Amino acid sequence: MFETHRLRGPEGCYTIGDLRRLAQQRLPRAIFDFFDGGAEDEVTLRANSRAFEQQAWRPHVLRDVSQVDLTQTLFGQRMGLPMAIAPTGAGGFGHPQADLALAKAAAHYNIPYALSSSATTRIETIADQAGGRLWFQAYVLKDRDYFWQLLDRAQAAGYEGLIITVDLAVGGKRWRDFHNHFSVPFRFTPRNFVDFALHPAWLYRLLRHGIPVMENLRGMTRPTTNAIATANAVASTVGKNYDDSFDFQRLQEVRDRWQGRLIVKGVARADDAQRIAAMGCDAIVVSNHGGRQLDGARASLHALPEVLDGVSGRIPVWMDGGIRHGGDVAKAIALGAQGVLLGRATLYGAIASGEPGALRALEILTDELKRTLQLCGVQRLEELTPDLLVPTL
């Protein structure tokens, strides 16, 4: 359908798919697959995107759409778009400035940026150099003292919101990482070294800036120094530090201690959503972790109505997973989400080309969202209602 010529840079990308292909061209396979892949058979990864395809527009016509308003309000503040940048870890493996690029792009478009605990840029660096509306995403760690230190650092740096990710009791099995000998902590093996050598520009940046480190987790764990091991031994190890005993009582402790907005990410059921809203949390994100953890979980878009029923309008509900087009953003809002978190959609641009790539991703999505509203005959996000959609199943 589209030409498959080699892309030169983000300026030649016209879709999020183009930015994905640019990242695939520029990164070693092991690195690209780490960001692009999902858990096990990647059933949920595919289902997230397919869920949007299963909703068809039923547009109005003969409406004045010469002026379209894409702004949204969250926590009493106006945002430029109904979007936020989702927390994505280890961005520095793709591009040394990926985290900062995403944060600056978010500030440019006046939308929140969420920094992951497993980012390769420090909490304080993002606050000092990017500005804008900042959220910090904290994985719940076995080292509880370290966990509280991270929250205190984010609070001191002026982060507006805290995201607690609750769908990650243990790390998922990502088979692409196994086959590619990719792990965190990072290791060279004969297989991936050849892969890396075939991408000299990426390798030059890596050698120039040094092997990326999860800066906010320094001091908590000691990277392994073992020699080349089997594929299973070198698979992604990020999840080994998560606290699988974290429960509602611990979440209440977080709510009591954190002074800013508390956002709970990874919810897919009405009963859980109801209980979280009753605890005084400020927002929920319907998510299955982008298909990277529990394979076989239903698509986020399919889980959205149930979570909305559980919340009953008490707190905002956002969603993420599978968003590759501005029209997907519009569909999520039409089905009741207040907004969406962008994961891979903006990450592809950042890991391929730093800040220009991140900005290009948001430019593409903004243009597509605006056009979708105009072609559906609506002027404002509030006019995106369920009657504009019909299931194609």
3-state secondary structure of 77: strand
Query: Which residue's entry shows tokens 């430019």?
Result: 363
Catalytic (active site) residue 289: yes
Find, among 91, 367, 93, the residue nearest to 103 by Cα: 91
Read off the amino acid at residue 61: V
> CA–CA separation, 338 vs 329, rounded Å?
10
Report how far apart, in Å, the C-alpha atoms of 285 and of each of 55, 300, 386 are. Answer: 20, 9, 19
- Cβ neighbors of 284 (< 8 A, separation 6 or more) are 263, 264, 265, 267, 273, 276, 277, 307, 311, 315, 316, 317, 318
- Pairing mode of beta strands 339-342, 83-85: parallel
Cα angle: 144, vertex 148, 154; to 5 degrees: 145
The one catalytic residue in 95, 199, 289, 302 is 289
- Half-sphere CA count of 266, side-chain side, radius 13 A: 17
Find, among 25, 27, 23, the residue nearest to 5 by Cα: 25
> CA–CA separation, 351 vs 96, rounded Å?
8
Separate counts of helices (H) and strands (E) for the chain: 14, 12
Indicate which residues carry an active-site annotation.
289
